[in-house]
Each structure stands twice: as structure tokens, then as C-alpha cells.
Amino acid sequence: MNRIRIIRRLACLLAALAGAVLASAAAVPAAFAARVPPPGTPPGPAPLPPGHVAGAVLGPNRAGYPPVSHIHTVIAIGMPGWKIAFIAAGAAILAAALAVLLERARTGRRHVAAPSA
């Protein structure tokens, strides 16, 4: 094995490691995100706004029940299944395309022995 090939492989390895470090550095701020209250607010839950009614709300078709709240899917149970399926399908298509490109690159580099006459 010649020196240029060794240097090229080491350069590829170094580039891959640098990419992995950059990708993890991009994900770290999101992983450690936290809500920081403004300065001067007391610890604990936020106080109720002025004029808030703590008891039952009476009105048309309410019969003493509190108002209906709307719960979004992402907040209640996480990501919907169809989004997960799309992400998985996209990852599978990307992996297949990369495998085809890699195989074509490897096939183009193969040295074929010259046929003897």
C-alpha cells in the first residue's frame, strides 16, 4: 500500500469524525434547552391572570363544567404515526440510494485483469 492511499484514508477518517462532532454539537443545545423565567419572578407556577374565575363557568350548554380545552397531538402523546412512517420511508430510500452509489463507485475502481490472448 502506498503512502498516498494511507494519507487519503486517514483524511477521510478525519473528515468523518469532524462531521460527527459537528452534528453532535448542533444537537446539544436542543437537548439541554430549558425555560428560564425572567429575572425577578418568584419560583413556582405562574400566578393566574387578573379576573380569572376559579370556579365552574356557567353559560349556554355548559351546565357548570369548565370550558373545553383543546389538546394537540404533539403535546399529548408525541409525534403522530404517519410522520414516523414518512421519516422511516425517507431514511430507507436515502440508505438505498447511498448503497447504489457506493456500489457503483466500487465497481468503477475495480482493476480488471487483461485477458490473455
- Domain assignment present for 13: yes
Distance of alpha carbon 90 from alpha carbon 96, whole angstroms: 10
- Domain assignment present for 18: yes
- Domain assignment present for 58: no
- Domain assignment present for 92: yes
Given a contact cutoff of 8 angstroms between Cβ atoms, the answer to whether 54 and 48 are in contact is yes
- Domain assignment present for 95: yes
Kindly report, residue by residue over 13-63, the tens digit of the pLDDT.
999 999 999 988 887 777 677 777 778 777 777 777 776 666 555 555 555
pLDDT in the model for residue 75: 56
Q: What mean pLDDT is reported for the chain?
A: 76
Kindly report, residue by residue over 52-67, the tens digit of the pLDDT.
666 555 555 555 555 5
- Domain assignment present for 80: yes
Task: Give residue 21's domain range.
Answer: 1-35
Distance of alpha carbon 63 from alpha carbon 57, whole angstroms: 8
Number of domains in the chain: 2
- Domain assignment present for 68: no
- Domain assignment present for 114: no
pTM assigned to the model: 0.33
DSSP state of 42: P
